[in-house]
C-alpha cells in the first residue's frame, strides 16, 4: 500500500462524461413515460450549455430538436452519448460511438451483469470495446449523471428533481436511491456539484470519481453511498490523498453491515472481527467519515458543506431551555468533544446581557424568555471567545417568541463575533418546537447555518468535523521496520505446513513472535509430570501448566490451564486434571507447556485476522478470558503506522487502566505500541497467517518486561 496512485491518470477522460460540450441521447423518444423522453427533457430544462442531439431510427424531430438515425450520422462532434435503448441494441450503439470518436458514454439501460451470465458476457464485450477506443463509460444500469456547474449545466439523468447548485459531489451505487438523494438534498437546501449514479461500475468507479473530485474546484465535500468496494486497497490510497493532500472530506454510507463469517472464526481476534469491523477500519484508515444511515449522511453533509471546520474540539452550547442543553452536553461528551470553559470576559458579558435567573456556565441556559437581543449578544461573545472552537445554538420556541427574529439575532451576533475572533468557526443550530419555526430556519439557511431537529445530531456533526480537521492537519505517520529473525519464522511456518497443520502449537507460536522481537514468558515443552517438575524447579515457583494442542484452542474454557502451581505435588495433580480433559476431547499424544507464572501488569490482547476484502486487520484491546464479553477492542487495516498504534491504544474504553488507575503504575505504552508494530510487520511478511492472537499480552510498567503469555496462530490452508 506504499505506492501513491496518479489521480490524473485515474480521472483521465472523465471530462467527456462530466463536462461534455455536446450530448447525444440514443433512444430519445416522444413517449410521455419513456426514459428517453425524460433524459432529453432534463437536458433541455436544466439548460445544458452545448448542443443536444436526439438519436432515433425513424423520427425526424424529437422534442422540437432535429433527430438523427445514429450517432455516427451526426455531422458535428459528440462528446457524450446517453444510451437508453434495449440491451440487445447497446453493443451496436457502442460501435457507432467508437466510429464517431465519442469521449464518454452513460448507459442507462439495464440487462447486463446484474441479470446473469449472458448479460455479463455482453457487458464484457462492451467494456473491451470502450477501452480499446478510450471511451469512459458510466453504467450500465444507472440513473445518469448531473453537473450543476453553470458553465456546463448537465442533467443527463431521468431524475424528477432539479438539484440546487452547490459543493457536494455525490456518487451512488444504488440507482433507486438517486432520486431520493436528490429530492432530500433539495428539501434541505443542500447544493450538489455533481451527481453520478454508478450502476454496474463496468468502467467508471467510485475510485475514479474520487480522483476527479480531488482537484475539481466546485466539489469541496464528497458523499458516497457504497454497496461494495471494487478495489479496497486502491480506494484507501486514493481516499488518503483526497482527505490529507487535498483536505476534502469524504462522507460515506456503506450498506451491508451484517456480521458474516465471524461465527466460524476460532481465535478471539477472528470472532471479534466482523465484515463491518473491516469496513470501519478501512474507512478510518483513510480519514473517511462513516455515516450509519443516509439520514446521518445528510446531517453531516449540511455541516461540512455550509460551515468551516473547527480549529479544535471545544464546543459552546447556547440554549433557552435546560433540558436540550443537557442533552447536547451529554452528546458532546459521548462523541468526544470538550465542553468549553469560557473566559472571564465572556462570562461577564453574558451576565450583563441576561437576567439573574440565567446560567452562564456551559451549557448556557438563557431561560425561556430569552429575546433576540440576548441571543445576539451571547452568540457574539461566545463565537469570539478564544476558548471556543464551535457553537451550537438551541432554540425551543415559546408561544410569545418570534422565531425569525431569534434567528436574525443569532446570524447578526455570529457575524460580529466571527469578525472579532479573526478565525472561522462552525455554528450549528437546533430550532425545536412549533411549525412557525420554519420561518426562522429559513433565515438561518440564508446565512448557511444548518439546522437540526435534535441536539444530538448537531453535536455528532460537530464531532465529525473536529475529527476530520485533526486528521487533515496532523502528521500522517510512517511504517516502522525492525530487525527480525525472518529465517527462523519461515522455518516454523514451513514446518507446520509440511505436516498439514493449520494451527501452530503454542510453543511454535511463541517462538514465532520471539523471532520478531516480541518477548514471551519463559516456557518449555514437557510430556510427563517429572519433566514438568524438573523445569518448574529451574524456573522457580509458582508456575503454570497448560495443554499444548491444536485440537483445544480456548484452553482456559475447558480446564486445560492450571495456574499458580507452587509444588511438585500440585504439578502432578494439575497434570492428571489436564489428562482427563485430553481424554474427554479425544486428544492423542498431548504435549504440555510449563511457564513461569506472571504476576502484576495489565492483560491486553494484540491480534490479527485476514479479512477477504481488506486483507489483514490488526486488533488491540483489553485481554484475558473476558475479551469477547467486554469487546473493548479496536481495529485498523494493515499496515500499521506509528501514529495508528498510539490511537488504537488510546481508543479502548479501558485506556485509563493502562495509564495507571487508583494508584497503579502506568504500563510501558511505547512497548505496547512497538509490539503492535512488530505484529503488523509479521503478518505483512507472512500473508499465509490467517489469524493471530497474543492473549494475554501482559503490559507491565517501564521497569519490567511486557511479555506474551499465550499465543495462537492459524495458517491458511495450502
pLDDT recorded at residue 438? 82
Omega of the bond leading into 140 within 30 degrees of 0 (cis): yes
Q: Where are the beta strands (DSSP E) in 423-556?
A: 427-432, 523-526, 543-548
Cell numbers standing for residue 61: 424531430
d(Cα 380, Cα 413) in Å, to the nearest integer? 4
CATH numbers and ranges of domains, the chain: 13-141 (3.40.50.720), 307-473 (3.40.50.261), 522-597 (3.30.1490.20), 602-715 (3.30.470.20)
Label residues 545-571 b or e (16+ Cβ within 10 Å = b).
bbbbbbebbebeeeebbbeebeebebb
Let me know: does 524 contact 591? Beta carbons within 8 Å: no
Residues 6+ apart with CB under 8 A from 136: 13, 14, 16, 17, 103, 104, 105, 130, 203, 204
With H, G, I as helix, E, B as strand and everything else as coil, classify residue 82. Answer: strand
Q: Which residue's entry shows cell 503506522? A: 641
Angle at which helix 437-446 crosses helix 403-421, to 10 degrees, equals: 30
Q: Which residue's entry shows cell 511454535? A: 508
pLDDT in tens, 543-574: 999 988 766 767 777 778 899 999 999 999 99
d(Cα 692, Cα 715) in Å, to the nearest integer? 9
d(Cα 552, Cα 530) in Å, to the nearest integer? 23
d(Cα 524, Cα 543) in Å, to the nearest integer? 11
φ, ψ at 306 (rounded to 5°): -110, -15
pLDDT recorded at residue 262? 37
CA quadruple 63, 69, 74, 80: dihedral sign: positive
Low-confidence ranges of the chain (pLDDT < 50): 1-2, 260-266, 268, 270-271
Per DSSP, the residues of 467-490 read: HHHHHHHS-----------HHHHH
d(Cα 570, Cα 566) in Å, to the nearest integer? 7
pLDDT recorded at residue 260? 42
pTM, entire model: 0.88
φ, ψ at 12 (rounded to 5°): -55, 130
With H, G, I as helix, E, B as strand and everything else as coil, classify residue 309. Answer: coil
Let me know: does 619 contact 634? Beta carbons within 8 Å: yes
Amino acid at each position: 500500500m506504499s505506492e501513491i496512485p496518479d489521480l490524473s491518470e485515474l480521472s483521465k477522460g472523465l471530462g467527456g462524461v462530466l463536462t461534455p460540450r455536446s450530448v447525444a441521447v440514443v433512444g430519445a423518444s416522444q413517449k410521455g413515460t419513456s426514459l428517453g423522453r425524460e433524459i432529453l427533457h432534463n437536458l433541455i430544462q436544466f439548460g445544458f450549455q452545448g448542443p443536444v442531439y436526439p438519436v432515433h431510427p425513424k423520427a425526424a424531430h424529437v422534442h422540437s430538436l432535429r433527430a438523427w438515425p445514429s450517432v455516427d450520422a451526426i455531422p458535428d462532434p459528440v462528446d457524450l452519448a446517453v444510451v437508453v435503448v434495449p440491451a440487445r441494441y447497446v453493443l451496436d450503439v457502442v460501435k457507432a460511438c467508437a466510429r464517431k470518436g465519442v469521449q464518454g458514454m452513460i448507459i442507462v439501460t439495464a440487462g447486463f451483469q446484474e441479470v446473469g451470465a449472458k448479460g455479463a458476457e455482453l457487458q464484457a464485450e462492451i467494456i473491451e470495446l470502450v477501452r480499446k477506443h478510450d471511451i469512459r463509460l458510466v453504467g450500465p444500469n444507472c440513473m445518469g449523471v448531473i453537473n450543476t456547474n453553470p458553465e456546463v449545466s448537465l442533467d443527463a439523468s431521468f431524475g424528477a428533481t432539479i438539484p440546487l447548485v452547490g459543493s457536494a459531489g455525490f456518487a451512488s451505487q444504488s440507482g433507486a436511491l438517486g432520486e431520493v438523494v436528490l429530492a432530500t438534498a433539495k428539501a434541505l437546501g443542500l447544493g450538489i456539484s455533481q451527481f453520478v449514479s454508478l450502476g454496474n461500475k463496468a468502467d467508471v468507479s467510485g475510485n475514479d470519481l474520487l480522483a476527479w473530485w480531488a482537484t475539481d474546484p466546485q466539489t469541496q465535500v464528497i458523499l458516497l453511498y457504497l454497496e461494495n468496494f471494487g478495489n479496497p486497497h486502491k480506494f484507501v490510497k486514493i481516499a488518503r490523498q483526497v482527505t490529507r493532500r487535498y483536505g476534502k472530506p469524504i462522507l460515506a454510507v456503506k450498506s451491508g453491515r451484517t456480521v458474516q463469517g465471524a461465527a466460524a472464526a476460532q481465535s478471539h481476534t477472528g470472532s471479534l472481527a466482523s465484515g463491518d469491523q473491516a469496513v470501519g477500519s478501512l474507512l478510518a484508515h483513510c480519514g473517511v467519515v462513516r455515516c450509519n444511515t443516509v439520514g446521518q449522511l445528510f446531517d453531516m453533509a449540511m455541516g461540512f458543506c455550509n460551515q468551516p471546520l473547527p480549529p479544535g474540539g471545544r464546543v459552546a452550547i447556547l440554549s433557552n431551555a435546560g433540558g436540550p442543553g443537557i442533552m447536547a452536553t451529554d452528546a458532546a461528551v459521548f462523541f468526544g468533544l470538550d465542553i468549553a470553559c469560557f473566559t472571564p470576559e465572556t462570562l461577564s458579558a453574558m451576565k450583563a446581557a441576561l437576567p439573574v435567573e440565567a446560567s452562564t456556565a456551559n451549557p448556557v441556559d438563557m431561560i425561556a424568555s430569552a429575546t433576540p437581543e440576548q441571543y445576539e449578544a451571547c452568540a457574539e461573545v461566545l463565537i469570539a471567545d478564544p476558548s471556543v472552537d464551535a457553537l451550537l445554538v438551541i432554540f425551543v420556541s415559546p408561544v410569545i417568541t418570534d422565531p425569525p427574529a431569534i434567528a436574525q439575532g443569532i446570524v447578526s451576533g455570529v457575524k460580529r463575533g466571527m469578525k472579532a475572533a479573526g478565525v472561522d468557526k462552525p455554528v450549528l443550530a437546533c430550532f425545536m418546537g412549533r411549525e412557525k419555526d420554519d420561518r426562522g430556519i429559513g433565515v438561518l439557511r440564508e446565512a448557511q447555518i444548518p439546522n437540526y431537529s435534535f441536539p444530538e445530531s448537531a453535536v455528532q456533526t460537530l464531532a465529525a468535523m473536529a475529527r476530520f480537521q485533526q486528521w487533515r492537519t496532523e502528521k500522517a505517520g510512517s511504517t516502522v521496520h525492525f530487525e527480525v529473525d525472518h529465517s527462523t519464522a519461515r522455518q516454523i511456518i514451513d514446518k507446520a505446513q509440511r505436516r498439514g497443520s493449520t494451527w501452530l502449537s503454542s510453543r511454535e507460536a511463541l517462538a514465532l513472535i520471539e523471532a520478531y522481537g516480541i518477548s514471551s514468558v519463559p516456557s518449555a515443552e514437557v510430556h510427563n509430570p517429572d519433566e514438568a517438575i524438573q523445569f518448574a524447579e529451574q524456573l522457580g515457583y509458582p508456575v503454570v501448566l497448560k495443554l499444548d494442542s491444536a485440537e483445544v484452542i480456548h484452553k482456559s474454557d475447558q480446564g486445560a490451564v492450571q495456574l499458580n502451581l507452587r509444588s511438585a505435588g500440585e504439578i502432578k495433580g494439575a497434570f492428571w486434571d489436564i489428562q482427563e480433559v485430553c481424554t474427554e476431547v479425544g486428544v492423542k499424544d498431548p504435549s504440555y507447556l510449563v511457564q513461569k507464572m506472571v504476576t502484576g501488569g495489565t492483560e491486553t490482547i494484540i491480534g490479527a485476522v485476514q479479512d477477504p476484502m481488506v486483507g489483514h486487520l490488526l486488533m488491540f484491546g483489553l485481554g484475558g478470558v473476558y475479551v469477547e464479553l467486554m469487546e473493548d477492542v479496536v481495529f485498523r487495516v494493515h499496515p500499521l503506522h506509528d501514529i495508528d498504534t498510539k490511537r488504537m491504544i488510546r481508543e479502548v474504553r479501558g485506556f485509563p487502566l493502562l495509564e495507571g488507575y487508583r494508584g497503579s503504575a502506568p504500563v510501558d505504552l511505547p512497548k505496547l505500541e512497538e509490539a503492535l508494530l512488530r505484529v503488523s510487520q509479521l503478518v505483512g511478511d507472512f500473508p499465509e497467517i490467517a489469524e493471530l492472537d497474543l492473549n494475554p499480552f501482559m503490559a507491565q510498567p517501564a521497569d519490567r518486561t511486557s511479555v506474551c503469555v499465550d499465543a495462537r496462530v492459524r495458517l491458511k490452508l495450502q
